[in-house]
Amino acid sequence: MKRFLQWWKGQPVLGISLLAALVSMCFVPPDAGYLSYCNRAVLIQLFCLMLTVAGLRSIGVFEQVTQNLLKRAGTVRRVGLFLVQLCFFSAMLVTNDVALLTFVPLTLLLFRDIGDEKSRIRVIVLETAAANLGSMMTPVGNPQNLYLYAAYQLHTGDFFRTMFPAGVLSWLVLLGLSFLLPKTPCAGKPGETTLPVIPKKPAAVYLLLFLVCLLTVFRVIPDWLCLVLTAVLVFFCDKRLFAQADYCLLGTFVCFFVFVGNIARVDAVRAFFAGVMQGRELWVSAALSQCISNVPAAVMLSGFTENAKALLLGVNLGGLGTPIASLASLISYQFYSKAAHSRPGKYLGIFSAVNFGMLAVLLAVGWLQLRFF
């Protein structure tokens, strides 16, 4: 029991999704219909992206890019601007989780010598918002986009028309908040760390696989071919990468597929959720994301509405707000809380002010966009 509780504490979303799936199975016993629940394409695409991005990280691609961009940074404001922009734009391709896993530890290292705790908190909070908001701009930026893009068979043009206005506005807001950082000189000298040379052959393989993943998401290459190519090439390049895939996230998707598939077969439950969602997709999805995070919210609510654009916008903007609204936000908090001289209470205060403030503005603009455009 003690081990089970420790596991639950470490993977609360997976635990909740598993419990939800098991409860739903009491109402709809397993049968042949279960085979249609899981979206195979989403699971394959997510798994292949995990392996490919893990490969790029393992050979130091992100560290090289970061250090090169930081060489000219000389003030706290410029460091913050660099890091926030890196998180925003890199998350579009490598997902919000990977962006934060890469740049938050670097931020903590840089600010170790700067000694400005308030600015350190503000930069990490802005990085977190930037990763969550930048990732919403592309179908591969985060798991909920990958799922909704495939589940609704969205046209690429429709996706970008839906997300582009909110993305541009969020970028402008983040830019403005970054300029509020002080112009005090950095005590340390970021960018002078010597990094190993990136091996050319593995880099070429991982970049090729990344291109294959993108083409698979945009339905140019079949998902089974993407899976075969990724599995074979990763095995020969570095089979240790298989251990770095987020199998808990994949398990969470499977559990929620089962849960949503089951409750959609209960007429009363389906009618209730469909009624609640009708015309309120943006608000309901953003609100539910605050409680169970935006990935499970996207999977759960997709079974009760055909309004893909409103749901897509709602779960992405809903990644702002509480620390659990986007699981990527917990990555930043965990890194910061374990750092020396951290002040978790102050961090959560600044995090809440920035996130809820941006959430209110972006939701209002999103509502106007859906209503009049």
pLDDT at residue 229, as a whole number: 95
pLDDT tens profile 304-354: 889 999 999 999 999 999 988 987 898 888 888 888 888 989 999 999 999
Model pTM score: 0.81
Please tell me whether residue 280 adopts helix, strand or coil conformation.
coil
Average pLDDT, rounded, for the chain: 87
- Describe the crossing of helices 327-337 and 344-372 by its angle, rounded to 10 degrees: 160
CA distance 334 to 330: 6
By the 10 Å C-beta count (0-12 exposed, 13-18 middle, 19+ buried), 67 is classed as middle
CA distance 161 to 186: 40
pLDDT at residue 92, as a whole number: 94
Q: What is the percentage of the chain residues whose pLDDT exceeds 90?
A: 45
pLDDT tens profile 56-115: 888 888 777 766 666 666 788 888 998 999 999 999 988 898 888 888 888 887 787 677
Q: What is the percentage of the chain residues whose pLDDT exceeds 70?
A: 92
Q: What is the mean pLDDT of residues 212-241?
A: 92
Q: Is the pLDDT of residue 266 over 60?
A: yes
